[in-house]
Chain A
Amino acid sequence: MKSSIRISSRLKLLAGFILILVSIIAIQVINFIGIGKIKRSQNDLINAFQTSQSMLSLRNEENRIRALTLEMILTHDQEERDAHVMDIRRRIGVVEETITNIEKNIANNPENLEKFSEIKELLKTFRANRERQLIMINQGKKDEALDFALTVQNPFYESIQSKMGDMDRILENNTKEVLARNDALNARIAASLGILGSLIIVISLLFIIWTFRLLHNLSREVKAGVNILGTSAAEILTTVNEVSTGATETATAVSETTTTIEEIRQTALLATQRAQMVLDSSRKASEAADNGKESVQQTIEGMDRINQQMNLIAESVVKLSEQNRSIGEITASVNDIADQSNLLAVNAAIEAAKAGEQGRGFAVVAQEIRSLAEQSKQATSQVKEILTEIQKAVNLAVMATEQGSKAVDHGNKLARQSGEMIDILAESVNDAVQSVIQISTSSQQQMAGMDQIVPAMENIKQASEQNVVGTRQTQNAAQTLNELGQNLKKIILKYNV
């Protein structure tokens, strides 16, 4: 808005000045043309005047010549006649010259020229007649000359005079016309100059009013601007002070940052070394994972073998149990047999008792058999106990083998899980290796970056210091600006535009 106004104002100013200039040039041109026209008109006037003068002189000279001729007729003195002849000749020369002048003056007026040529013809005839008259005079024929003068020359002269009078009137009219034209021209020029002048005055007035308004607006805006400038300058001053403080702080921060960067660089170096160590450890871990995988495989195989052995043991135990049962049955049979033997022995003893003395020996045998049967029974009961123990042991063994089998299955599962875990671990280790490589690379890049940052920080430091200097200059400039604003305010108040 402001810029457009400014541009348009500039253009308007330029246009106004150009308009005024053009008007002035136009006035100049009109003036110039008018002056030319007036000059020509004046020339015409002078011309007309000269023609009239020449005509008058022509008439006078002719009149004089006629008078002189008449005097010559009347006088008797030869000397006087000669003097008159001399005078007539001189006057004829003047007349010739005057005629030439008149012709020259009326050359651009064919009507006058024609009329004048008639007069000239008449004059030629009149002069020829006069030469004859002069000859008559010289011959002394005075009466004849006088008669000639009265009868021929005088009416002729009267006719010429009347023609010349006509010519004079025409010329006078001409002069009057020229004068009238001149007056009209003067009036026209004056009118156009007046109009143009008024136009210029109006334009100038408008221009002045517009310029005044422009100036007024300008000054108002400038006043506002100056106020803003003052405030802004004060703000700039404050800001610059803050910036100055900030720049100092920046310098401190830059120093701290430089130190920090050095520390970070050290850390990055340490990180690189650590990463290398971790890499080595990871490789070892990877190898360990491979070994662990093999071990797990072996464990699984071992578990399978144990499982097979367990199955064999279970079969053996089952067989043992069966055999134990068979032994039990056998033992029961033996026990039964012992019982029966016992009964038999009792029966034998009874029979022996019935036999009395003869049966005494038999009683001993019966007693012996009974004792054996008793021992057999005890033995079978011992065997039974042992078998019970064995059966318990077998049951325990069966349970143990089952638990063993379960344990083996569990172990197998665990071993497989361990294998999977080791696989995952190996993957993790590989991932870790990749990560560590990336960390190592990153750390190196970081270090390189840090090396680049250090000179950059140096540059920032320098820039900051320059900034401080610049800020001081800016401070001064802002101070000056503030003063300028105040001055501008004063100027505006002073001029009160």
Chain B
Amino acid sequence: MARDPLELLQKRALMISRRQSDTEGASRTIMVVEFLLTPEQYAVDTSFVTEVLPLRNLTLIPGTPPYVIGIMNVRGKIISIVNLKSFFNLVQKGLSSQNRVIVLRHKEMEFGIVTDGISATRRIDTETLSKPPASRQDPGSDYIRGITAEGLILLNAEALLSSKAIVVNQK
């Protein structure tokens, strides 16, 4: 901790410049936002992400499917909040102010997904992704683009945003 701040900054600058050169070399990589749906790490392509928010001022709406938790006012814009754990039939956990919302947008479609936390933004080589298991028959597998070597599940944001289930219910 007691290290010279100047030295620290120089090291960091070096590291950052090197990483820049790496990404420049590979055009197959995409930028993703990595998040947590306990206990798994998921990721989503940043090109579909509008912004990330803390879960605040959630308004519960009665008569909606169970995976639609409610609505949120984001700077005057009303956004539906979807619980992916419910949608993917995963083990559920109570919500708190620690939950983060990732606002996704494709064409006219826009909604937020609840996460247990935003880990980082990073680049992923799409060539290294492996497919989800073929035997998987449940509808969730359609929304997964692939899984990295570290076990990071890359969601198909486009499929989610154009999903009939969510859209039909939305409209």
Q: Are B51 and A368 in contact (CB under 8 A)?
A: no
* Minimum Cβ distance to chain B for residue A186 (Å): 182
Name the CB-closest residue of B to A366.
B121
The digit string for A349-375, where 1 denotes a CB below 8 A from any CB of B, is: 110011000001000101110110000
Name the CB-closest residue of B to A364.
B16
Query: Does residue B79 face the partner (Cβ distance < 8 Å to A)?
Result: no
B residues within 8 A CB of A370? 120-121
Q: Are A350 and B49 in contact (CB under 8 A)?
A: yes
Among B12, B31, B52, B120, which residue has its beta carbon within 8 angstroms of that of A353?
B31
A residues within 8 A CB of B54? 339-340, 343
* Minimum Cβ distance to chain B for residue A52 (Å): 202
Chain B interface size, as a band, is 10 to 19
Q: What is the total number of residues of chain A having a CB less than 8 Å from a CB of chain B? A: 17
Given known pairs A343-B52, A350-B33, A353-B47, the reply for A364 and B118 (CB within 8 Å) is no
Among A350, A360, A364, which residue has its beta carbon within 8 angstroms of that of B52?
A350
Q: Are A368 and B118 in contact (CB under 8 A)?
A: no
B residues within 8 A CB of A368? 12, 16
Query: Does residue B27 face the partner (Cβ distance < 8 Å to A)?
Result: no
Interface of B is mostly: strand
The CA-CA distance from A367 to B18 in the complex, in Å, is: 14
Among A343, A349, A371, which residue has its beta carbon within 8 angstroms of that of B53?
A343
* Minimum Cβ distance to chain A for residue B35 (Å): 9
The CA-CA distance from A354 to B46 in the complex, in Å, is: 8
* Minimum Cβ distance to chain A for residue B83 (Å): 19
Among B16, B20, B100, B121, which residue has its beta carbon within 8 angstroms of that of A350?
B121
Given known pairs A339-B54, A340-B54, A343-B52, the reply for A350 and B118 (CB within 8 Å) is no
* Minimum Cβ distance to chain A for residue B124 (Å): 12
A residues within 8 A CB of B118? 342-343, 346
Given known pairs A353-B31, A353-B47, the reply for A346 and B16 (CB within 8 Å) is no
Q: Are B12 and A350 in contact (CB under 8 A)?
A: no
* Minimum Cβ distance to chain B for residue A283 (Å): 70
* Minimum Cβ distance to chain B for residue A360 (Å): 7
Among A339, A343, A353, A371, which residue has its beta carbon within 8 angstroms of that of B46?
A353
Query: Does residue A347 face the partner (Cβ distance < 8 Å to B)?
Result: yes
The CA-CA distance from A360 to B123 in the complex, in Å, is: 13
B residues within 8 A CB of A349? 31, 46, 121
The digit string for B35-70, where 1 denotes a CB below 8 A from any CB of A, is: 000000000001101111110000000000000000
> Which positions 77-106 of chain B face chain A at CB distance < 8 Å?
100
Once A and B bind, how many residue pairs between them come within 8 Å at the CB atom? 43
* Minimum Cβ distance to chain B for residue A146 (Å): 234
B residues within 8 A CB of A347? 51-52
The CA-CA distance from A225 to B78 in the complex, in Å, is: 155
B residues within 8 A CB of A339? 54
The digit string for B8-36, where 1 denotes a CB below 8 A from any CB of A, is: 00001000100010000000000101000
The CA-CA distance from A368 to B120 in the complex, in Å, is: 12
B residues within 8 A CB of A360? 20
The CA-CA distance from A360 to B121 in the complex, in Å, is: 13
The CA-CA distance from A340 to B53 in the complex, in Å, is: 8
Q: Are A346 and B12 in contact (CB under 8 A)?
A: no
* Minimum Cβ distance to chain A for residue B56 (Å): 11
Q: Are B53 and A350 in contact (CB under 8 A)?
A: no
The digit string for A322-357, where 1 denotes a CB below 8 A from any CB of B, is: 000000000000000001101100110110011000
The CA-CA distance from A347 to B31 in the complex, in Å, is: 12
Name the CB-closest residue of A to B122.
A349
Q: Are B121 and A353 in contact (CB under 8 A)?
A: yes
* Minimum Cβ distance to chain B for residue A368 (Å): 7
A residues within 8 A CB of B31? 349-350, 353
* Minimum Cβ distance to chain A for residue B49 (Å): 5
Q: Are B100 and A343 in contact (CB under 8 A)?
A: yes
* Minimum Cβ distance to chain B for residue A271 (Å): 83
Given known pairs A343-B100, A367-B16, A368-B12, the reply for A350 and B51 (CB within 8 Å) is yes
Name the CB-closest residue of B to A374.
B120
B residues within 8 A CB of A343? 52-54, 100, 118
* Minimum Cβ distance to chain A for residue B77 (Å): 15
The CA-CA distance from A181 to B53 in the complex, in Å, is: 200
Measuring CB to CB, which residues of chain B are less than 8 angstroms from any residue of chain A? 12, 16, 20, 31, 33, 46-47, 49-54, 100, 118, 120-121
Starting from the known contacts A350-B46, A350-B52, 4 additional A-B residue pairs (CB-CB under 8 Å) come to: A339-B54, A347-B52, A367-B16, A368-B16
Measuring CB to CB, which residues of chain A are less than 8 angstroms from any residue of chain B? 339-340, 342-343, 346-347, 349-350, 353-354, 360, 364, 366-368, 370-371
| 14 A-B interface contacts by CB (under 8 A) | A339-B54, A342-B118, A343-B52, A343-B53, A343-B100, A349-B46, A350-B31, A350-B33, A350-B51, A350-B121, A364-B20, A368-B16, A370-B120, A370-B121
Q: Which are the 5 A-B pairs with shortest beta-carbon distances?
A: A349-B121, A353-B31, A353-B46, A350-B46, A347-B51
